[in-house]
Structure 1
Amino acid sequence: MNATSERVTSQIGLALAVTFTLCFVTGLISHFIQHPPSWFGWPSRPVWLYRVTQGTHVISGIASIPLLLAKLWSVYPKLFERPVIRSLPHALERLSILVLSAAVFFELTTGLFNVAQNYPWTFYFPQLHYALAWVAIGSILVHIAVKLPIVRRSVTLAPEPSRRAFLRTTWLAAGVAVVATAGATVPVLRPVSGLSWRSGKGPQGLPVNRTAAAAGVLDMAKDPDWRLSVVTPKGTKTYSLDELRALPRTSAELPIACVEGWSQSARWSGVSLPELLRHAGSAPGTPVRVFSLEKAGPYGISDLPAEHTADDLTLLALELNGEVLDADHGFPCRIIAPNRPGVLQTKWVTRLETR
């Protein structure tokens, strides 16, 4: 590989390191919110923060795809060099590149399928995606350390005209990929974002990932005998839908932001969770476990930390955009808490337990 080729490869590699690191850090944040270690805390304000971090996660991941393809294209002649292995350090270097390429390719490919909610595999995506993210970022750091002398030498060189054209095409491809998909998170880009999945679609003008029929809760949700149970150290208090509607009402404009990267703001109305806790004999700022009518699946139960149960914008929502909740949006009631992933905004709520 000549010097100008090294410069092209180094520039693309540095750009890929930036986008993938952004993707890794924001993905780590999302994982910790959903599976919080004891030391981790996530605030309820600003209400849009998760929308930004998870949007950045998906956008930076998509930008990484053309960068990865360009990086592989720029170095593919080295794959056919002979001899295949010249020494033990050379063998270790080639092995590390194989691990890096495989891990990054897996992360970006499966992440793209997840964005499209298409799962042509049998493994549990979040767990394996999280584990291999560490392998990918570790192998990137090792690769940078090994190649740092080449990077330092090549950044001062000017590439040949043909390679400048290749770089421009790479930056353009990455930019087009970002603009084509960013509308799912950035509303102002939706008119020009042809792949901004789910924006504005769904009942009541808001997308849904899982319908009431798919969750198997449609009959239970529409049962007139439905009651919400609120369990506190002082006992259990039950509420009919009419009794919930009779409590003081709170309305708020809040985004719902999903792990797949789409987000959309809506007007939610219902009972403030601090108000409901006080009415049931408990205190705001107490962790609450939320139970859904949906028994199967990993998100039938969620935990609301103290920061959110103390926030007046955390709602047991009864209405969406001025209308009674559609069954697919969680009728008879659902949780809408500021700055939380959509998978934790539990629908079809049937029970709240203070912890």
Structure 2
Amino acid sequence: MTAPTRRRDRLPRPRPPAFSGRLHDARTATAVGRWLGGAFAVCFVTGLISHYLQHPPSWAADRLPVRPVWGYALSQGLHVGAGIAALVLLLVKLWAVYPRLFVWPPVRSVRHGLERLSVALLVAAAVFELFSGLLNIAEWYPWPFSFVPVHFAVAWVAIGSVLLHVAVKAPEIRAHWSRTSTGTLELPAQDGPDRRSLMLGLGAAVGAVTLTTAGQSFTPLAALDLLAPRHPGYGPQGLPVNRTAAAAGVDARTLGDWRLEVRGPVPYRLTRAQLLALPQTSARLPIACVEGWSVDAHWGGVRVRDLLERAGAPPGAAVRVTSLEAGGAYRVMEMGGEYARDPLTLLALTLNGQPLSPDHGFPARIIAPNRPGVLQTKWVALLEVL
């Protein structure tokens, strides 16, 4: 076989694509990356707060803070707001760095290999966290796994990959912050206006999505709440609902001759009329959901601690609450002693001066300060002293 024949049979080596854009560079990527890193840090910290308020470890169940009453509303509003802003930042960050995904050879050194690994983990984890979180806000779950534990686990992968990425990119980051940066990071002067225009446009885009979604939790911006899936003023009795009575399987037949059952050293049962005859307490508290929306409302009812004391509960006892709903991950909920004995934790019977509507938990529901909405159990049937 002749030499020319061997050359024709040999497969051609693929050439990486060439990119001519002037802003696909380390300085632009670093400028966008510091914004994205800040958004990820807010998401991670507030995500930890949300997770441990919903699923506290046993040693912390009786030590969760009940003040400030608006703490969870603020934390989860920041979590969702920063996550939505991070979607815009992530898309621009990927646009700035995607030519580097095609470098050849793929791995040139140990440090370069670590950089590539950190990028792969970071991109995969970030895309999963932000887009699965966005679908959770819309309450659409097109996957077979449980959202909460998987989202929580991947958050640790994401933050770990961020730290690894920052470590291996430290020289470039340090050069970006230096006033006298040199080497490959130094760009022609004419690129400066382009980069400023990009960053101004990015800031405007982040500001726009924030202004048009933050109103679901920050009510002064409610008039601009155009993109969020919930509006703070829409719903039965002026409050949104995520799970209706129909969806929970609660109807007139289910309620029947409803009685609240309280189990403890001295068990007893009460009708709604008997509950209304007990000393009533009113409180203005937010209902704040993991989807990011929150609304303050006036609630009226009986203090949970009064009901537990009547059942002979010892001081500081926790309580298990069971709903009438047929199923659901939060049908049974436990409150630690800090919540159970707080004077603002109510078995609510009224909302804004009116009896609870079926969708808001008639005949009775839990409302407590600084607590996720999924744990503000509706259609309460049973309280158990623990």
What is the TM-score when the length of structure 2 is the normalising length? 0.88
Matched, 1:319 2:350: yes
Distance 1:2 1:92, change over 3 A: farther
Question: What is the CA deviation profile of residues 46-73 of structure 1, one whole-angstrom value per residue up to 9, with x for unaligned ones?
Answer: 1101100111111111111111111111
The aligned residue for residue 168 of structure 1 is 200
Once residues 199 and 40 of structure 2 are traced to their aligned partners in structure 1, the CA distance between those partners, rounded to angstroms, is 18
What is the TM-score when the length of structure 1 is the normalising length? 0.95
The aligned residue for residue 291 of structure 2 is 260
The aligned residue for residue 301 of structure 2 is 270
The aligned residue for residue 93 of structure 2 is 71
Once residues 254 and 274 of structure 2 are traced to their aligned partners in structure 1, the CA distance between those partners, rounded to angstroms, is 16
Q: Which amino acid aligns with 2:342?
A: D
Question: What is the CA deviation profile of residues 300-320 of structure 1, one whole-angstrom value per residue up to 9, with x for unaligned ones?
Answer: 011111111111110000011
The aligned residue for residue 8 of structure 2 is none
Q: Which amino acid aligns with 1:211?
A: T
The aligned residue for residue 230 of structure 1 is 262
Of 156, 160, 164, the residue aligned with 1:142 is 164
Matched, 1:197 2:229: yes
Matched, 1:187 2:219: yes
The aligned residue for residue 32 of structure 2 is 12
Of structures 1 and 2, the larger Rg is shown by: 2
Question: What is the CA deviation profile of residues 261-301 of structure 1, one whole-angstrom value per residue up to 9, with x for unaligned ones?
Answer: 00001111111112222233324531000011124111001
Contact 1:229–1:350 (8 Å) recurs in 2: yes
Distance 1:64 1:325, change over 3 A: same
| Structure 1 segment 1-355 matched on structure 2, within 5 A | 5-40=25-60, 41-155=63-177, 156=179, 160-198=192-230, 199-223=232-256, 225-232=257-264, 234-283=265-314, 285-355=316-386
Let me know the Cα RMSD of the aligned residues. Answer: 1.8
Q: Which amino acid aligns with 1:86?
A: R
Shift of 1:127: 1.0
Q: Which amino acid aligns with 2:157?
A: V
Once residues 89 and 118 of structure 1 are traced to their aligned partners in structure 2, the CA distance between those partners, rounded to angstroms, is 40
Once residues 212 and 254 of structure 2 are traced to their aligned partners in structure 1, the CA distance between those partners, rounded to angstroms, is 38
Contact 1:5–1:163 (8 Å) recurs in 2: no
Once residues 120 and 25 of structure 2 are traced to their aligned partners in structure 1, the CA distance between those partners, rounded to angstroms, is 20
Q: Which amino acid aligns with 1:27?
A: G
Once residues 130 and 228 of structure 2 are traced to their aligned partners in structure 1, the CA distance between those partners, rounded to angstroms, is 18
How many residue pairs get aligned? The number is 353
Contact 1:250–1:272 (8 Å) recurs in 2: yes
Judge which range, 278-287 or 32-41, deviates more.
Answer: 278-287
Question: What is the CA deviation profile of residues 201-236 of structure 1, one whole-angstrom value per residue up to 9, with x for unaligned ones?
Answer: 11111111101111112135531x11111111x231
Secondary structure in 2 aligned to 1:42?
Answer: coil
Contact 2:365–2:377 (8 Å) recurs in 1: yes
Once residues 310 and 81 of structure 2 are traced to their aligned partners in structure 1, the CA distance between those partners, rounded to angstroms, is 43
Contact 1:274–1:309 (8 Å) recurs in 2: yes
Question: What is the CA deviation profile of residues 312-341 of structure 1, one whole-angstrom value per residue up to 9, with x for unaligned ones?
Answer: 110000011111111111111000011100
Q: Give the fraction of aligned pairs with identical amino acids, expressed as a percent.
A: 53
Secondary structure in 2 aligned to 1:160?
Answer: helix
Once residues 6 and 66 of structure 1 are traced to their aligned partners in structure 2, the CA distance between those partners, rounded to angstroms, is 19
Judge which range, 315-324 or 81-90, deviates more.
Answer: 81-90
Which runs of 5 or more residues in structure 1 are unaligned?
none
